[in-house]
Amino acid sequence: MAELLCCSRCGRKLSSQAAQRIGGQVVCPRCVPLMKAVVQAQKADSRAARAPLVVLGLPAWLVGGAVAVAVLVGFVCAAAFVAGSKRKAKPPAGLGIKYQMISDKKYDAPVKAQVTIKVLVSSRLGREDLKRLLMHLYAAAMARRGFKYHERATNVYIYAYTSRENAEAGWSWVAMLDKSYSDSAPKVSYNEEELNAVRGGPVVKFGLTEVQRKKVFAQMGAAEGKARREAEKEHPVRPGDGMDKIKAQIDYERERQAIYKKAIRDKYKLSKDQMRAIVIEGVTRRWPH
């Protein structure tokens, strides 16, 4: 069964077969031209950075000395900046929640500045404590500076796990926070299945059994595929077409998706947040779609 991925630029969900990787990023077919342009621009910057330094009219020893001074000053400033960043990221005294940092990774590129954090927590933590912890880590991530292309992080993803095995596997988190480029505020989600598993609770959620939730997840995937096919037919995009045609296709696809997803929510009496939780559960547990 194909794994469900998300385009790193537009956020669109797509199968692993349809996804392409450009510059280390998962990209949908529609965003490929833009990402290729970004990668080419990065390569051009890299070539420019490697070009030899030529200063006309100055002795070589003077040029070398100036470069050395500049490097030393840059190093001192960077050290001071890192020290300041660490002070900002210091946990507040009143947090009172123990956790262990598993990984803290940064991705810095023109398309986005991303921070991905994984932490190990106690299975006894409730939703409120999990949310407080995730929001604390989010505030620390947003306080970071030093990105090359952006002032601060544009994308932040924080995952809380109750076992190191799950963290290393990259699934079965108990809570997560995500804030993508287009989001005005972060969103916190809980993995009800995992929370129930570690506490021995029921598996019925939102009034739906697991079998019913799987059906909802599959119907959501089918709705997105239907909307995509209709958009490609209504607003075809050919090689050489401009961004206006690409945008028209994307907008139409989103309109059709909204209609089909609302019909599914109405059928099962689900809110948008509940529907989103089911989608996250399906992706996390790799349900067929």
Domain end, chosen from 199, 219, 243, is at 199
**Using H for helix, E for strand and C for coil, what is the string for 19-48?**
CEEECCEEECHHHHHHHHHHHHHHHHHHHH
Identify whether the C-beta of residue 252 lies closer than 8 Å to the C-beta of residue 244: no
Q: What pLDDT, on the 0 to 100 scale, is given for residue 54?
A: 41
Q: Is the pLDDT of residue 73 over 60?
A: no
Decide if pLDDT at 61 tops 50: no
Does residue 90 sit within a domain?
no
Q: Are residues 251 and 225 in the same domain?
A: yes
CA 151 from chain centre, in angstroms, equals: 17
Average pLDDT over residues 170-180: 88
pLDDT in tens, 209-239: 888 988 999 999 999 999 999 999 999 988 8
pTM: 0.43
Q: Which domain holds residue 38?
A: 4-46
Dihedral sign from CA coordinates of 116, 16, 170, 219: positive
Cα dihedral angle (51, 55, 60, 62), rounded to 10 degrees?
-120
Same domain, 260 and 240: yes
The answer to whether residues 152 and 186 belong to one domain is yes
Shared-domain flag, residues 104 and 182: yes
Residue 37 lies in a domain: yes
pLDDT(69) > 60: no
Amino acid identity of 3?
A: E
Residue at 56 is within a domain = no
**Which residues pair with residue 216 across a beta bridge?**
none
Where is average pLDDT lowest: 160-169, 213-222, 254-263, 280-289?
280-289
> Do residues 165 and 245 both lie within one domain?
no
Which of 108, 131, 107 has its CA nearest to residue 121? Answer: 131
In terms of domains, do 188 and 223 share one?
no
In a domain, 265, yes or no: yes
229, part of any domain: yes
DSSP code of 24?
A: T
Domain end (from 199, 219, 254): 199
What's the pLDDT at 185?
Answer: 94
- pLDDT of 1 strictly over 90: no
Mean pLDDT of the chain: 78
Least-confidence region, from 9-13, 17-21, 63-67 = 63-67
Is the domain of 245 the same as that of 179? no
DSSP 181-210: TT-SS-EEEE-HHHHHHHHT----BTTB-H
Whether residue 148 sits in one domain with residue 115: yes
Contacts of residue 75, Cβ cutoff 8 Å, sequence gap at least 6: none
- How many helices (H) and strands (E) are present in the chain, helices listed first? 8, 9
Q: Is the pLDDT of residue 268 over 90?
A: yes
Tokens (6 digits) for 97: 């929640």
Task: Judge residue 219's burial from the number of C-beta atoms within 10 Å of its C-beta, 0-12 exposed, 13-18 middle, 19 or more buried.
Answer: middle
Whether residues 187 and 219 fall in one domain? no
pLDDT at 198 over 90: no
Q: Are residues 266 and 219 in the same domain?
A: yes
> Average pLDDT, stretch 238-258?
90
Stronger pLDDT, 282 or 64, i.e. the higher one: 282
Last residue of a domain, one of 199, 225, 250: 199
Hunting for tokens 């290393």 — which residue is that?
168
Angstrom distance (rounded) from CA 267 to CA 5: 26
Q: For residue 216, tell me if it sits in a domain.
A: yes
pLDDT tier at 41, thresholds 50, 70, 90: low
If one counts the domains in the chain, the total is 3
pLDDT band with cut points at 50, 70 and 90 for residue 199: low
119: pLDDT strictly greater than 50:
yes
Confirm whether 62 is domain-assigned: no
Q: How far apart are CA 102 and CA 179, in angstroms?
A: 20
Tally the residues of the chain.
Answer: 289
First and final C-alpha spacing in the chain: 8
What pLDDT sits at residue 105? Answer: 95
pLDDT score of 125:
85
Average pLDDT, stretch 139-168? 92
The yes-or-no verdict on residue 147 having pLDDT over 80 is yes
**172 and 129 within one domain:** yes
179, 120: one domain: yes
Is 80 part of a structural domain of the chain?
no
